[in-house]
Amino acid sequence: MKIKSIISLVAGFVSLLLGSMSASSAVVGQPAPNFSLTGIHGKAHTLSEFKGMVVVLEWVNQECPFVVKHYESGNMPSLQAAAMADGVAWIQINSGHPGAQGDFDDEQVKAWQNKQGSTSSAYLRDSDGRVGRLYGAKTTPHMYVIGANGTLLYNGAIDSIRSANQADIAKAENYVRSALKAIKAGEPVPTTYSQPYGCAVKY
């Protein structure tokens, strides 16, 4: 009986593990899962409303040192501006729980965006972490690039050097920029996955 109980426990754990893995349904090469969240301007947004456009999803926490690195250097704002000038929809998502680091209210987020020169199609709140878990978002930043046909084309870090040092930006390969450049040229995305780095998402 004891062995049977252990086997049953192990089977249950494996089943639970597989279930949690399947919950992260954002798979490169597959359709990006749709979602609906409310933005800081009070409007509900869905991924499907950007159908026919290339979309970048950026998980953000304004107080994370790695996010600070990419914003205070101007790296993320310039990438956003260039992408949106090319017709890309850029969506910022904060999956931190209420009261977590970086859980700014709507007016604080707007002030932060203005200060950093950040532009996006929407800044969305995911306070219960539902969308973050759906995508398997692990860090801030964690970046996803979705093709105009709705297929997920990139999942991972913003660039190739895992540090909070602004001096490393110029030396790194920016995976998001490379992906967008390839998509614009009608070429395959050169790097489709990388290990994200930064602060853990504050679920």
- Exposure letters 19-52 (e unless 16+ CB within 10 A, then b): eeeeeeebebeeebeebebebbeeeebebeebee
pLDDT at 188: 98
Coil/strand/helix, residue 57: strand
Q: What is the pLDDT of residues 36-72, one digit of tens each?
A: 999 999 999 999 999 999 999 999 999 999 999 999 9
Those residues of the chain that have pLDDT short of 50 are: 1-22
Report the percentage of the chain scoring pLDDT > 90.
88
Domains of the chain by start residue, with CATH = 25-200 (3.40.30.10)
